[in-house]
Amino acid sequence: MCGVAAWLGDDAASAVYELLLELQHRGQEAAGIAFLANGGIRLVGGPGLVREAIRLPAAAARAWAAIGHVRYSTSGRYGGEQYQPVAGSKGLVHIAFNGNIVNYRELGRELLGRSYTWDAQLVADLVEALYLEQGSLADALREAAQLLRGAYSLVAITSRGELAAARDPYGVRPLAYAVGDGYAAVASETAALDSLGLPWREVGAGRMLYCNGSPKDCVETGLASGHEPRPCAFEYIYFLRPDSVFEGVEAHAARLEMGRRLARRDTVEADLVAPVPDSGRSAAIGYALERGLPYTEVLYRNRYAGRAFIAPPGERNGRLKRKFNPIRSTTWGRRIILVDDSVVRGDTSRWLARILRRSGAREIHLRVASPPVVMPCFLGIDTPSRGELVAHGRSGDEISRVLGVDSILYLGMRDLEEAVGRRLCLGCFGGAYPFPLDVARLEKVFTEDRR
């Protein structure tokens, strides 16, 4: 996952800071901003949330171009020691990107003569080397797109004041921009641009926004030959803010429909429908509306505890325990249909079943608004091996037992695609990745490089 932002125009560093605050849900391990002021690019950032990680120095007030990033690590080391944006080795190009490059080791060895353990550094060095050859950021990114294999939505600036925002040929991750009088703005999600009142457009799959030093000189142009977009299904299921639009589809609307479709396949009797807050809420509303059952909340979620799923492994359990507390007046003696957006490792569901039973729930029927996650992701989600997935190699009954719920029902892949109304990447559900991947080899690569 991760979130990226960029701004060209007055007060660029502060504007990127504001956009990153709106994208905080996409990454909570680290944050950073690179800004162009006084002819050079400066980088600030570190571990933690945007407000903890970024202290803008006085020079940032003169920044005319800036890019920024919130990190959810899916390559390189856990924790905030590594953060983006990343500088190329000569400091002429800085990039920030959301996604994963599956051939970064080979590209590093074969083209740059170095071994890499972090795909972001490879992308920065490669784009900078191509920039030195081509003399234009747009041409460097076009050339890089012929070499990079994976999912990426990236922003880049050069010390000459060029700014670009590019989306991979399959458009796996979201990216949007707004260009107006005196500014060009970019953000991973449309909701971030909405929050600043900017009229946005999405960057098309295999396309880029390129600005040659001024907002007046911005154009959306081709990056690589197009494919049918294959947006990540998980963006619609979990990552996107409900008020964001990706490939023309609002996340909340898609999630409501996922819940409705799940409900149509269900006959279990229950007293109420409740979401796992907050990401299961839209689907739970759709489910309850479809079945005409009472909808309520059975869990309080501490919104200052962060998103447990995207926390580094060592922090997940502690965060989970602090995050939820049952609401006893709605759990005691009730048969609960608990709707979650997804079940990946199973830690959250197992913990919730335990605390709901402790607070008197009579039955817990877990309804999951996505298919079982049975395969790893190498395109921007930190699930690099099959062994950590609770549904891998288990039947529905076995999963129910492991999670401690009375029953479980998942959404099917076809219903998921129909709910979104788009062809999706469904790789982690055992469907198709956008392009062929050597899963066994990549499990090794992405597990080895994580510490």
Q: Which of 330, 382, 388 is nearest to 360 (CA)?
A: 330
Q: Under the phi-then-psi rule, with left for phi > 0, alpha for psi from -120 to 50, and beta for the rest, what region is 414?
A: alpha
CB of 1 to ligand SF4, least distance (A): 9
Residues 6+ apart with CB under 8 A from 99: 2, 150, 151, 152, 153, 154, 168, 172, 173, 379, 380
Alpha carbon distance 379, 152 (integer Å): 8
Q: Is 341 flagged in the annotation as binding?
A: yes
Q: Is 377 flagged in the annotation as binding?
A: yes
Cite the active site residues.
Answer: 2
Q: Tell whether residue 379 is a contact of ligand SF4 (CB under 6 A).
A: yes
Scored b (16 or more CB within 10 A) or e, 192-223 reads bbbbbebebebbbbbbbbbbbbebeebebeeb
Contact 237, 370 (CB under 8 A): yes
The nearer residue to ligand SF4, 200 or 309, going by C-beta atoms, is 309
Per-residue contact track with ligand SF4, 234 to 273, x per CB under 6 A?
Answer: x---------------------------------------
Q: Tell whether residue 232 is a contact of ligand SF4 (CB under 6 A).
A: yes
Q: What phi and psi values does residue 153 have, to the nearest 5 degrees?
A: -120, 115
Q: Tell whether residue 175 is a contact of ligand SF4 (CB under 6 A).
A: no
CB of 310 to ligand SF4, least distance (A): 12
Alpha carbon distance 92, 125 (integer Å): 10
CB of 359 to ligand SF4, least distance (A): 32
Among 157, 233, 343, 413, binds ligand SF4 (CB under 6 A): 233
Q: Is 428 flagged in the annotation as binding?
A: yes
Among 249, 273, 425, 442, binds ligand SF4 (CB under 6 A): 425
The nearer residue to ligand SF4, 237 or 298, going by C-beta atoms, is 237
CA 261, 282, 294, 400 torsion-angle sign = positive
Q: Tell whether residue 427 is a contact of ligand SF4 (CB under 6 A).
A: yes
Q: Looking at this protein, which amino acid is placed at residue 183? A: Y
Residue range at the interface with ligand SF4 (CB under 6 A); choices 39-47, 259-267, 270-278, 419-427: 419-427
Give the interface size with ligand SF4 as a residue count (CB under 6 A). 13
Q: Which residue has the tokens 């004041």?
A: 161
E strands, 310-357, in order: 324-326, 335-340
Structure tokens at 342: 């997804």
Q: Is 397 flagged in the annotation as binding?
A: no
Residue range at the interface with ligand SF4 (CB under 6 A); choices 183-191, 212-220, 285-293, 376-384: 376-384
The nearer residue to ligand SF4, 160 or 423, going by C-beta atoms, is 423
Structure tokens at 222: 């081709």
Distances (CA, A) of 447 to 315, 393, 441: 18, 20, 10
Q: How far is CA 273 from the centre of its chain?
A: 27
The nearer residue to ligand SF4, 339 or 426, going by C-beta atoms, is 426
Among 19, 20, 95, 172, binds ligand SF4 (CB under 6 A): 172
Q: Which of 155, 369, 426 is nearest to 251 (CA)?
A: 369
Structure tokens at 143: 């050339």
Among 428, 442, 445, 450, binds ligand SF4 (CB under 6 A): 428
Q: Tell whether residue 391 is a contact of ligand SF4 (CB under 6 A).
A: no
Alpha carbon distance 188, 181 (integer Å): 21
Residue range at the interface with ligand SF4 (CB under 6 A); choices 36-44, 157-165, 209-217, 229-237: 229-237
CB of 105 to ligand SF4, least distance (A): 19
CB of 63 to ligand SF4, least distance (A): 33
Distances (CA, A) of 107 to 147, 257, 302, 440: 8, 41, 43, 19
Per-residue contact track with ligand SF4, 77 to 96, x per CB under 6 A?
Answer: --------------------
Query: Cβ–Cβ contacts within 10 Å for residue 360, how many?
Result: 14
Residue range at the interface with ligand SF4 (CB under 6 A); choices 2-10, 44-52, 283-291, 374-382: 374-382
| DSSP bridge partners of 425 | 232
Residue range at the interface with ligand SF4 (CB under 6 A); choices 111-119, 141-149, 294-302, 372-380: 372-380
| DSSP bridge partners of 69 | 4, 32
- Contact residues toward ligand SF4 (CB under 6 A) are 172, 232-234, 377, 379-381, 425-428, 433
| Known binding-site residue numbers | 232, 279, 340-341, 377, 425, 428
| Known binding-site residue numbers for Mg(2+) | 279, 340-341
